[in-house]
Amino acid sequence: MAHPITPKSSSPVGESKPRIDAREKVTGAALYADDIQFGNKLLYARIKRSPYPHALIKKIDVSRALALPGVKAVVTGQDFPGFIGLYLKDRHIFCRERVRYVGDPVAGVAAINPETAEKAVNLIDVEYEVLEPVFDPEFGASPQAPVLHPELGQYIVASFILPRPGSNISNHFKIRKGDVSSAWQKCSKVIERKYRIPHIQHVPIEPHVAIAKVEESGEATLWDSSQSPFAQRDLIAETLGIPQSKMRVIAPLVGGGFGGKAGVSMESLAVAIASKVRGYPVKLLLTREEEFFTAFVRQGLVATFKMGCDVDGKLLAMQNTFFWDGGAYTEYGVNITRAAGYSCTGPYEVPNVHTDSYCVYTNHPVGGPMRGFGMPEMHSGLEQCIDELAHEIGMDAVEFRRRNCLKGGSILPTGGRMHPTGLSECLEKAAEAIDWGRKAQPSAPNKRRGKGLALMWKAPAMPGNAGSSAWIELAEDGTLTLGVGCQDIGQGAFTVAAQMAAAAFGVPYESVRVATPVDTRYSPYEWQTVASRITWSTGNAIIAAAQDARRQVLNLVARAWGETTDDLDIVNGMVVSFKSEREIPVKDFAVAGLPKPDGNGWMGGPIIGRGNFIPADVTGLDPETGQGEHAVVHFTTGAQAIELEVDLDTGRIEILKGVAAFDVGKAINPELVKAQMEGGLIQGISSALFERLQLKDGVVQNASFVDYRIATSSDLPKSVQSIIVEVPQADGPWGARGIGEHSMVPTLPAIANAIYDAIGIRFEGPPFTAEKIYLAMLDAGIVK
């Protein structure tokens, strides 16, 4: 099987009937782009949302909204009693008895234009009984906190998620390895630190948008910006009582996702509303303000780390407690909590480990997946503690990591063993690239310069049966049409998919066309485009499909020529024989077949290859100890190093150089791999220096790009270096494993360590704004 060639370029639903009459004319210049595809039957949806973080719904009166001309339907939670959720079904599509965060959907409207829909929403009257809210996950996990989900014990939940009914803890994941209590007395140095990581937003430039249509037959179609079309098909259909075969999801290219468009969030609202106006498409578009607090946010975290080492710098014990602020609903957050639990030591071998990772309901926006899936938050404090422990025993931070980082065969916190990894090489290369150990002079007298480094690891956080599939069809001109169900969200998934199909079958990259958009009616199944698993998982399915098609081709030609398939190969779209030196283009028989050797009839026919993949060896973990043989499929590991300057006059941080080194197994497309390293580094810088959802009494105070700062081109490091390390993954395509999320994981602690190196100050959490830095220097007497 040839290596993939990098291309030169890459190119039953409720039965109530709606009040449908002739659509009123829209005055003025209101021309809606979606009219082009959906015509003048397109309706527009808006959502009535809760103004309270926690309250009982006493009464909803929609009569005034229904009376407004142009309104075609108004729906509430009473129309849709089912629960929805990926790992934990803990919410209704529209709230029924209570609301749990500011922005919780209470009712929906479909109208002839957005303005009428907005007016109708304002005419819906809701009577609430305000309840005591929970805003802190530590308090939320305590017995004193009001219980936000009294029905927790009745919810349907994945077998590996362990909720505590009667509390706000929707998942409690434990690691109990060795004997932590007795290990502390053997430690030369012990440190204990606490960190707070705030909520942040994904801020995709394209906000969430969905158009849904339910036919009179009950068949539903959803067009949306999605990382998870097949999961949406399954979950929405199940909740609304539609057979999955009658629920179709079409997902064009996504204008930014970063995890925020995974699973189901607002999309179910559009389908639910459309079910009441059958035959009419309904469009729901989140405003930029809504995007900040009604779509998934990254969970907040309160983390306590205690770790100790011996006199030689060998880690002996670690005790960690994580309180994840999962928000109002934790259908996805429960698995983030689990992932942080089994990854709790970071990429280090620690013989004695005691960890509790809690997912806690609060009355904040809904926490969900974001790039890194809990690993940036968890590593933020852990990697600073590693630096501090090294400092406490007088050892260089790189040397400390060198002695403790995972290697092939190391025992993991879950009790299994680490597969071969290039983590040590990543550490050495990142340190070398930053000139570690050599103090550079600041660029001006009012500047202080510092260097910092951090390691990371991350596994695909997914069920053990998360599957992928692919098909390949040959056309008359020899072109391969590749069907996949994964999504391209800017990471180049379709490019790499085409490369792998071409290499595995035996044609040039340019001879492969990826069938888009992803359409659950025609595209092969894919669990979700999440967890940095597509190159690995979908890639294996693509190879299987290509090999299936290849076998058909070679078997056909072998029969025609009286040879064996061992004598044949496919090279650049040509079947060649090493025995007879004959050759024939695949296009000559890809559809039409070949004559039988005796000339009487034909054999072969249209070539279609099929392939699938599912992890075969992931084992369960003991619920009380977290121990198990094979907790995850694999880990991607890496390192980042940062050099920066702090302006003593303003507190502003300037990143001078960023270095990223990651073991990707095998870089199928090195330029795309480097792009992921660079993009993750920049996003990590943004989360470290600028980003935070400012929440006051459950209300987001900075729900706009005016007040929510993200990194721009002016904040980029002067120099960025990406280093590819390749230690093959045994079950990866050509040895490949994922890199999409990993490059954001170690950035924040690397920056925090560099800040400490520059000014000697540590912080409880980000963002490290200029104001925060300056005031800390003032308190420390560094500036006056």
The pLDDT tens digits for 222-243 are 999 999 999 999 999 999 999 9
Longest dimension (CA), the chain: 97
Report d(CA 722, CA 138) in Å as an integer.
Answer: 39
Q: What is the mean pLDDT of residues 2-12?
A: 51
Report d(CA 484, CA 499) in Å as an integer.
Answer: 13
pLDDT at 616: 87
Sequence-distant (≥ 6) Cβ neighbours of residue 37 within 8 angstroms: none
Q: Which residues of 522-551 are buried (b: 16+ CB within 10 A; e: fewer)?
A: ebbbbbbbbbbbbbbbbbbbbbbbbbbbbe
Report d(CA 44, CA 413) in Å as an integer.
Answer: 51
Q: 342: closest CA among 289, 397, 413, 264?
A: 413
Sequence-distant (≥ 6) Cβ neighbours of residue 263 within 8 angstroms: 86, 228, 231, 232, 235, 296, 331, 332, 368, 369, 528
Tokens of 33: 């782009």
Sequence-distant (≥ 6) Cβ neighbours of residue 265 within 8 angstroms: 208, 294, 295, 296, 366, 368
Q: Which residues of 750-781 are buried (b: 16+ CB within 10 A; e: fewer)?
A: bbbbbbbbbbebebebbbbbbebbbebbeeee
Helix (H) or strand (E) holding 662: strand 653-663
Residue 375, strand partner residues? none
pLDDT at 634: 98
Q: What is the mean pLDDT of residues 621-635?
A: 97
Report d(CA 1, CA 668) in Å as an integer.
Answer: 13
Task: Tell me the domains of the chain and their CATH numbers.
Answer: 7-30+466-613 (3.30.365.10), 39-131+208-285 (3.90.1170.50), 297-462+620-779 (3.30.365.10)
Query: How many residues does the structure list for the chain?
Result: 784
On the CB side of 734, how many CA atoms lie within 13 Å of its CA?
23
Report d(CA 34, CA 41) in Å as an integer.
Answer: 10
pLDDT at 34: 63
Reply yes or no on whether the pLDDT at 26 is more than 70. Answer: no
Tokens of 334: 């429960």
The whole model's pTM is what?
0.95
Report d(CA 437, CA 435) in Å as an integer.
Answer: 6
Q: Which residue has the higher pLDDT, 183 or 6?
A: 183
Contact 107, 66 (CB under 8 A): no
Report d(CA 691, CA 492) in Å as an integer.
Answer: 26
Q: Is 40 exposed, middle or buried (0-12, 13-18, 19+ CB in 10 A)?
A: exposed
Helix (H) or strand (E) holding 138: helix 137-140
Sequence-distant (≥ 6) Cβ neighbours of residue 586 within 8 angstroms: 474, 478, 507, 553, 570, 573, 574, 575
pLDDT at 687: 98
Helix (H) or strand (E) holding 613: strand 608-613
What residue type is 653 in one-letter code? I
Percent of the chain topping pLDDT 90: 94
Report d(CA 784, CA 781) in Å as an integer.
Answer: 6
Report d(CA 371, CA 653) in Å as an integer.
Answer: 24
Question: Which range among 20-29, 107-116, 575-584 shows the weakest confidence by mean pLDDT?
Answer: 20-29
Report d(CA 583, CA 22) in Å as an integer.
Answer: 65
Q: Report residue 11's pLDDT band, with 50, 70 and 90 as the boundaries.
A: very low
Chain-centroid distance, C-alpha 488: 13
Tokens of 282: 């309904």
Reply yes or no on whether the pLDDT at 273 is more than 50. Answer: yes
CA-to-CA separations, 504 to 7, 237, 547, in angstroms, rounded: 15, 36, 6
CA-to-CA separations, 381 to 196, 301, 782, in angstroms, rounded: 9, 10, 24
Contact 122, 76 (CB under 8 A): no
Q: 21: closest CA among 3, 43, 46, 53?
A: 43
Tokens of 690: 């600028």
Q: Which residues of 383-413 are buried (b: 16+ CB within 10 A; e: fewer)?
A: bbbbbbbbeeeebebbebbebbbbeeebebb
pLDDT at 468: 98
pLDDT at 9: 38
Q: 389: closest CA among 405, 401, 377, 378?
A: 401
Report d(CA 71, CA 282) in Å as an integer.
Answer: 12
Kindly give the pairing relationship between strand 480-484 and strand 447-458: unpaired
Rg (alpha carbons) of the chain, rounded to whole number? 28
**Which long-range contacts does 129-133 make (Cβ < 8 Å, 24+ apart)?**
129/55, 129/56, 129/58, 130/52, 130/54, 130/55, 131/54, 131/55, 131/56, 131/98, 132/54, 133/53, 133/54, 133/362, 133/363, 133/697, 133/698
pLDDT, the chain, mean = 95
Reply yes or no on whether the pLDDT at 7 is more than 90. Answer: no
Reply yes or no on whether the pLDDT at 105 is more than 80. Answer: yes
Question: Which range among 33-47, 565-579, 679-693 shows the weakest confidence by mean pLDDT?
Answer: 33-47
Q: What is the mean pLDDT of residues 719-732?
A: 98
Query: How would you write 734-764 as a 3-class SS string?
Result: HHCCCCCCHHHCCHHHHHHHHHHHHHCCCCC
Tokens of 669: 């497309």
Report d(CA 218, CA 278) in Å as an integer.
Answer: 8
Contact 770, 651 (CB under 8 A): yes
Sequence-distant (≥ 6) Cβ neighbours of residue 311 within 8 angstroms: 188, 393
Sequence-distant (≥ 6) Cβ neighbours of residue 712 within 8 angstroms: none
CA-to-CA separations, 106 to 72, 149, 238, 364, in angstroms, rounded: 18, 17, 21, 16
Q: 65: closest CA among 104, 23, 110, 106?
A: 110
Query: How would you write 434-498 as a 3-class SS string?
Result: CCCCCCCCCCCCCEEEEEEEEEEEECCCCCCCCCEEEEEEECCCCCEEEEECCCCCCCCHHHHHH
Q: Report residue 2's pLDDT band, with 50, 70 and 90 as the boundaries.
A: low
Q: What is the pLDDT of residues 546-573, one digit of tens each?
A: 999 999 999 999 999 999 999 999 999 9
CA-to-CA separations, 173 to 86, 323, 374, 635, in angstroms, rounded: 18, 11, 14, 19
pLDDT at 321: 98
Task: Please work out, in degrees rounded to the nearest 5, the angle formed at the alpha carbon of residue 359 by the alpha carbons of 358 and 361.
Answer: 130
What residue type is 155 in one-letter code? Y
Q: 666: closest CA among 420, 347, 465?
A: 420
Kindly give the pairing relationship between strand 367-368 and strand 608-613: unpaired
Reply yes or no on whether the pLDDT at 82 is more than 90. Answer: yes
Task: Please work out, in degrees rounded to the nearest 5, the angle formed at the alpha carbon of residue 123 by the alpha carbons of 117 and 127.
Answer: 130
